Structure 1
Amino acid sequence: MQVMRHVLFPGRHHVLTRFQAEYLAGLANSDSTVVWAVTSANHENTRRNPVPYHRREAAIERFSVMTGLRSVVVPVFDTAPTERFAEVTVKTIAVATGLELTPADTVVACSTPEVAALYAALGFPLVGVEADQEHPVERPWDVLLRLADGDETWRVLAHPATVDVFDRYGLTETVRSVVNDPVVGDEGGLTATRDYRTYVEAFAGSAARKWELVRGHVRPGRIVDIGCGAGAVLELADREPTLRESDLIGVEVARHLYEECVHKKAQGAFANPNVFFYRRNVLGGAVFRPRSVDTTLTFALTHEIWSYGEQWKSLRRFAEAIYAHTVPGGIWINSDVCGPDGRDVPVRLRLADSDGRNPERPRDDLARLGPAAAGEYVAGLSTRARLDQFAVDFAFPFAYEAHDDGSVTLPLGAAMDYLTRKDYVENWLSETREQFCGLEFADWKALLGDVGFVLEPASTGTRNDWIVANRLAPVAALEHLDGRPMEWPVTHVLLVARRPHTAMA
């Protein structure tokens, strides 16, 4: 093939390989420029994109020096799937560098057929890099998976530029932790079906109530909000005169929410200069040094760790991590949903059936409809029919028995899991992956005591009476099996757990 003036090399470029160095050396000459279009440049710390852009750029620049290739590196931000991806990339390069790449002077090097086809449609000549080889050649992602699996042969396949950057910046363990994370999804959230817009709005609306609940228990010093969402609670902590000398630290794993925190800080939302945000998953390893945090806050988080992780195993690991980073005398304040006392006790549940449709059977294909269509379908069901649909979609199976009088017998915990979730139709596919009632207050006491914490007297199970009055009582009633009315049980828990001054190491 005729040597072109430019070689456009689109890709995520987390790992550069020795094969790529040999291939590009044969494709380009001293007058050619390799244009590295680094896609998903605004993503990091996810399975699909574990390495931040600035580290990828550093490796490419070092690669260029070591191989003698003239390179230009351009970040391309992630976009929704579009047939115009190739066109967007070419335009991004033009805006960033002034280079107007055309089919007459540019060859596109791409091993992904679907992406290559988009450039071919624009008239660009193509080379397939690894895809062109007679014998199979490992692609960069294959090499990265070797690294994630602990296979040290990745160092032989990767180019020394990548190995050097990974070693200098400790990226090897970071990649292994992110790729093998049991909780976080490919795109950096707990679930791909969550509508983060409504999630942020709901959390912001309740932030004042949450802060008022815990502010009297906060110990000044180093204050960490794990699962901080969009930083709404830390904004309120920032206004507390007694905390003006404290460090306020937000930790968030979901990319969308972390980016909102960073944006708020950049816009001057915080008066305290010592406000910091980290994108981390506490289950992936220690985030803070041992005995370095005075107060840890968690709101509506622990049920997600339970649900998306390995239930008891993940939650205990989380509690142990918090205990380890808490100073002696420091506290962990946890506010979350909670299962009722005696959650396994069978009860009778009566539900309204005149407030929506009652199909003959629930659907088993809501996930294929997508979040919006699934939510619209569920919203049209009666409260009774919605229970049947919940039983199909809920990630934590339970048995229930329907009776001729319209009532249903099921465990109390399952009843409350349904009743406290039935109105979240906008995020139905996400909410049905989470279990609110996996633990009751006694379970929390046992877990925290076993880890080494001591519960303060303020710790208690509570009932959200607004939910009872507005969401539950109008359409549902709980009864004992003998027909006696049952009081609505607790729905939430407040745990103020202190690490003793004289405690286990």
Structure 2
Amino acid sequence: MIALMAPFVLFPGRHHLLTRFQADYLRRLAGGGSTIVWAVTSANHENTKRNPVPYHRREAAIERFSVLTGLRSLVVPIFDTAPTDAFAEVTLKTITVATGLDLTPADTLVACSTPQVAKLYERLGFPIDWAEADPAEPAAPERPWDVLLRLSRGDDTWRDLAHPATIDVLERYRLIDTVRTVINDPIIGDEGGLTATRDYRTYVEAFTVAAQREWAAVRQYVQPGRIVDIGCGAGSVLELADREPGLHESDLIGVEIARHLYQECLHKKDQGVFRNANVYFYQRNVLGGAIFADRSVDTTLTFALTHEIWSYGDRRESVLQFARRIHAHTVPGGVWINSDVCGPGDPQRPVLLRLTRDDGANPSVARTDLADLPPSEVKTYVESLSTRARLDQFAVDFAFPFTYEPVDDRTVRIDQASAMDYLNRKDYVDNWLSETKEQFCGLSFADWTALLTEIGFDIDPASAPIRNDWVIDNRIAPVASLSDLDGKPLPWPATHLLAVARRQRNG
């Protein structure tokens, strides 16, 4: 520890958990009257593996910590930015804007235990005190993140290391189970999304374009009351529900797992997009636990969601678990409306798939290194391939292995579900490495009917498999054809489904 008394101690970090060591350390470092400036990084992130606690709860714990320790503190939120070597400068400027303080090496000591962060401040001339990483300490104490991981594992010894201020805030706001769920969630990524390769800008645009069509298809089945859109994306469908006179007294609730999309929903609400005062958004993963009380939701909407649960979870078991949660929170007589992709009725049927080779390049082998390339290069390369060559690339990148046998330079023998998975995905070059992690044809309409019936839902007659003829006519048929093994042309199978599932009134 540096034997230096500075007017300010800058303490950057995510500060999800405060420790007893930090209390003793900061008393020794700043107990003579220094002001601790807590630069709380990733302040705009929550409900992610790296940032499971929202900023306002972290701030509450720091303020309580300061009262209990008798230390003078200033707490400043630092929003996340793209990786940059100038992050120390960004942090210092943010502190100046928020507090009016212009911290300099002459009046500020930086307390830090992360070498990469310390180097950024050392480069600016700031003296560094190493906190948990102090080489003078005979035994390095556990860092706050390690204590948080103890909590996530259910190891109750975290309480022996955490400061009472943190324990109090986590208990009062029931965050202990939330932290465990988020950190241990097998589906949510480190930054609160399903996949790190997804370009959410294009998804926001796609949601906006599709919302009118989706709402028109389901509006007549929506029951007023508590209406929940799970996987609400950027909130586009709820915008349309908000404009319905018959739903003006309903609660409109959006649930979104992806941080980027959730933040877009909050931005829309802040901008006054919604007229209904009872519009709410949650960033949650419904597989991690119940969000709504049993028998409390009148209508649940899911659009293009369930195939993601299938793909990133444990296939049918994860979809079954998800469906059970929806059944549990649905009021008797309430409805779940699910619109998504689906597989053909005879998924394992062997077929002949003929693909054009004249619309792009035809390399002799598919590449195996796309994951190492920037997204723009992946897009450029895949876009350059012919429809036939793109199948070979799809087979390499697709997370659900399948086999196919070349018959000639344009035709392959393949099962019908894998053929349709490729044909429905071949044009998604903007998010190729993300899309190839998802399976569209895991469940057929018959599979869905069996699953929903197993849970206890009644299947409304409006439920049906659907073929998107626009996609067939404009994207698939011009470059592909499907036939049986004798060469007889086959009709294109269903590509989507609409499932209207009702909970029995006495169920």
The answer to whether the 8 A contact 2:356-2:410 is kept is no
Alpha-carbon separation, structure 1, partners of 2:72 and 2:246: 56
Measure how far apart 1:310 and its partner are. Answer: 1.1
Alpha-carbon separation, structure 2, partners of 1:5 and 1:242: 61
- Residue matched to 2:225: 221
The answer to whether the 8 A contact 2:47-2:192 is kept is yes
Alpha-carbon separation, structure 1, partners of 2:138 and 2:183: 30
Alpha-carbon separation, structure 1, partners of 2:25 and 2:277: 49
- Residue matched to 1:168: 172
The answer to whether the 8 A contact 1:76-1:92 is kept is yes
Alpha-carbon separation, structure 1, partners of 2:45 and 2:263: 10
The gaps in structure 1 that reach 5 residues or longer are none
SS of the aligned residue for 1:248 comes to strand
The answer to whether the 8 A contact 2:457-2:502 is kept is yes
The answer to whether the 8 A contact 1:208-1:233 is kept is yes
- Residue matched to 1:183: 187
Measure how far apart 1:309 and its partner are. Answer: 1.0
- Residue matched to 1:113: 115
Residues 381-409 of structure 1: CA deviation (Å, up to 9, x unaligned): 11011000000100111111112353111
Alpha-carbon separation, structure 1, partners of 2:283 and 2:36: 32
Alpha-carbon separation, structure 2, partners of 1:398 and 1:367: 20
Once the two structures are superposed, the pairs formed by residues 410-425 of structure 1 within 5 Å of their partners are 410-425=414-429
Once the two structures are superposed, the pairs formed by residues 400-479 of structure 1 within 5 Å of their partners are 400-479=404-483
Q: Which stretch shifts more, 160-169 or 487-496?
A: 160-169
1:126 and 2:102 aligned: no
Measure how far apart 1:30 and its partner are. Answer: 2.7
- Give the alignment partner of residue 335 of structure 2, picking from 306, 331, 345: 331
SS of the aligned residue for 2:253 comes to strand
Measure how far apart 1:344 and its partner are. Answer: 1.2
The answer to whether the 8 A contact 1:30-1:70 is kept is no
The answer to whether the 8 A contact 1:3-1:29 is kept is no
Alpha-carbon separation, structure 2, partners of 1:25 and 1:258: 39
Measure how far apart 1:89 and its partner are. Answer: 0.5
SS of the aligned residue for 2:379 comes to helix
Matching residue's letter, 2:39: A
Alpha-carbon separation, structure 2, partners of 1:124 and 1:162: 29
- Residue matched to 2:300: 296
The TM-score normalised by the length of structure 2 is 0.98
The TM-score normalised by the length of structure 1 is 0.98
Alpha-carbon separation, structure 2, partners of 1:275 and 1:200: 19
- Residue matched to 2:253: 249
The answer to whether the 8 A contact 1:36-1:72 is kept is yes
Matching residue's letter, 1:236: L
- Residue matched to 2:65: 63
The answer to whether the 8 A contact 2:5-2:32 is kept is no
1:390 and 2:394 aligned: yes
Measure how far apart 1:193 and its partner are. Answer: 1.0
Q: Percent identity?
A: 70
Measure how far apart 1:410 and its partner are. Answer: 1.1
Alpha-carbon separation, structure 1, partners of 2:219 and 2:473: 27
Once the two structures are superposed, the pairs formed by residues 193-208 of structure 1 within 5 Å of their partners are 193-208=197-212
Measure how far apart 1:96 and its partner are. Answer: 0.6
Q: Which stretch shifts more, 359-368 or 259-268?
A: 259-268
Residues 131-154 of structure 1: CA deviation (Å, up to 9, x unaligned): 113323211110001000000000
- Give the alignment partner of residue 156 of structure 1, picking from 147, 157, 160: 160
- Residue matched to 2:80: 78
- Give the alignment partner of residue 236 of structure 1, picking from 235, 240, 247: 240
Measure how far apart 1:199 and its partner are. Answer: 0.6
Matching residue's letter, 2:178: T
- Residue matched to 1:90: 92
Q: Which stretch shifts more, 26-35 or 437-446?
A: 26-35
Residues 405-431 of structure 1: CA deviation (Å, up to 9, x unaligned): 531111111000000000000000110
- Residue matched to 1:12: 14
Matching residue's letter, 1:176: R
Measure how far apart 1:67 and its partner are. Answer: 1.1
Aligned-residue Cα RMSD (Å) equals 0.9
1:350 and 2:372 aligned: no
Alpha-carbon separation, structure 1, partners of 2:434 and 2:146: 31
The answer to whether the 8 A contact 1:335-1:494 is kept is yes
Q: Which stretch shifts more, 7-16 or 363-372?
A: 363-372
SS of the aligned residue for 1:224 comes to strand
Residues 195-234 of structure 1: CA deviation (Å, up to 9, x unaligned): 1111111111111110110011111111111111111111
Measure how far apart 1:379 and its partner are. Answer: 0.4
Q: Which stretch shifts more, 77-86 or 191-200?
A: 191-200
Alpha-carbon separation, structure 1, partners of 2:188 and 2:101: 38
- Gap change, CA 1:117 and 1:318, over 3 Å in 2: same
The answer to whether the 8 A contact 1:30-1:69 is kept is no
Alpha-carbon separation, structure 1, partners of 2:8 and 2:370: 47
Residues 153-175 of structure 1: CA deviation (Å, up to 9, x unaligned): 00001111111111111110010
Matching residue's letter, 2:34: S
The answer to whether the 8 A contact 2:362-2:386 is kept is yes
Q: What stretches of structure 1 move > 6 A for 4+ residues in a row?
A: none
SS of the aligned residue for 1:156 comes to helix
- Residue matched to 1:374: 378
Alpha-carbon separation, structure 2, partners of 1:440 and 1:103: 65
The answer to whether the 8 A contact 1:460-1:494 is kept is yes
1:143 and 2:147 aligned: yes
The answer to whether the 8 A contact 1:332-1:497 is kept is yes
Number of residue-to-residue matches in the alignment = 503
Alpha-carbon separation, structure 2, partners of 1:468 and 1:63: 61
The answer to whether the 8 A contact 2:85-2:120 is kept is yes
- Residue matched to 1:261: 265
The gaps in structure 2 that reach 5 residues or longer are none
Alpha-carbon separation, structure 2, partners of 1:201 and 1:419: 22
1:27 and 2:32 aligned: no
Alpha-carbon separation, structure 1, partners of 2:498 and 2:217: 9
Matching residue's letter, 2:65: F
